[in-house]
């Protein structure tokens, strides 16, 4: 009985030595097994879920200079204000940004914040479904010294066409907003997203100094 046990143990010991030697060789060489998944890499199913969730959010829109064009997502929530879904895409071109006086745009009162700016935009629905843009009460101005402040005015568009509208696919409008900003320069932003998890403004415009 003892002899049988001794003979059985020898191969086991040799096998263990071979396995240990193999592990040591891989560790010393620094090479990893090709089929091994990198540590911390999310499974494919989890990555797909994250990508889907990201696609359903409007996120933070473009920051544009005068003359530039960008795109932003539009969408809607359910009746409870949850489950936001992107439904279409709008393009916005900043045609011009001109500092004006009350007399120049036929406004009876001086700006409360310090300076009027006439912001001309071209908006176009480049998506596949109707999209709504409503800027009144949702435009803000800020600069490096001043926190975001409301910039919309009751004067609205002055003598131009309104950019606030429902846009069918392919439709566009060129119009302007009369905004009351703190000073020349800074940034005006449209904060009209219906997405409760939006990371920032729908789009922003850097004003000339």
Confidence class for position 115, pLDDT limits 50, 70, 90: very high
What's the pLDDT score for residue 122? 96
pTM of the complete model: 0.70
Average pLDDT of span 70-92 = 91
What's the pLDDT score for residue 59? 55
Average pLDDT of span 103-116 = 92
How far apart are alpha carbons 58 and 95 in whole angstroms? 24
Indicate the range of 91-95, 97-101, 105-109, 136-140 predicted with least confidence: 105-109
Q: Which residues of 100-138 are buried (b: 16+ CB within 10 A; e: fewer)?
A: eeeeebebeeebebebbbbbbbebbbebeeebbbebeeb
* Per-residue pLDDT tens over the stretch 131-145: 999 999 999 999 999
How far apart are alpha carbons 91 and 163 in whole angstroms? 12
How far apart are alpha carbons 200 and 61 in whole angstroms? 7
How far apart are alpha carbons 58 and 194 in whole angstroms? 9
Which of 54-63, 109-118, 150-159 is modeled with the greatest confidence?
Answer: 109-118
pLDDT for 28 beyond 60: no
Average pLDDT of span 182-202 = 93
Confidence class for position 129, pLDDT limits 50, 70, 90: very high
Confidence class for position 159, pLDDT limits 50, 70, 90: low
pLDDT for 187 beyond 80: yes
What's the pLDDT score for residue 105? 87
pLDDT for 104 beyond 60: yes
């Amino acid at each position: 009985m003892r002899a049988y046990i001794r003979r059985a143990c020898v191969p086991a010991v040799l096998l263990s030595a071979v396995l240990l030697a193999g592990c040591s060789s891989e560790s010393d060489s620094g090479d990893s097994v090709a089929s091994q998944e990198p540590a911390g890499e999310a499974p494919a199913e989890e990555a797909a879920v994250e990508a889907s969730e990201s696609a359903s959010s409007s996120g933070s829109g473009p920051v544009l200079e005068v003359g530039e064009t960008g795109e932003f997502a539009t969408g809607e929530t359910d009746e409870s204000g949850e489950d936001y879904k992107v439904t279409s895409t709008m393009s916005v071109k900043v045609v011009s940004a001109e500092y004006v006086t009350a007399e120049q745009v036929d406004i009876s009162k001086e700006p409360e914040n310090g300076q009027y700016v006439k912001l001309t935009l071209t908006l176009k629905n480049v998506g596949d479904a109707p999209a709504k843009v409503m800027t009144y009460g949702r435009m803000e101005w800020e600069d490096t010294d001043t926190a975001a402040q409301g910039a919309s005015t009751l004067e609205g568009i002055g003598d131009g066409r309104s950019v606030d509208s429902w846009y069918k696919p392919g439709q566009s409008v060129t119009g302007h907003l009369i905004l009351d900003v703190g000073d020349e320069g800074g940034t005006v932003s449209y904060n009209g997203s219906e997405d409760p998890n939006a990371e920032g403004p729908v789009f922003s415009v850097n004003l000339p100094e």
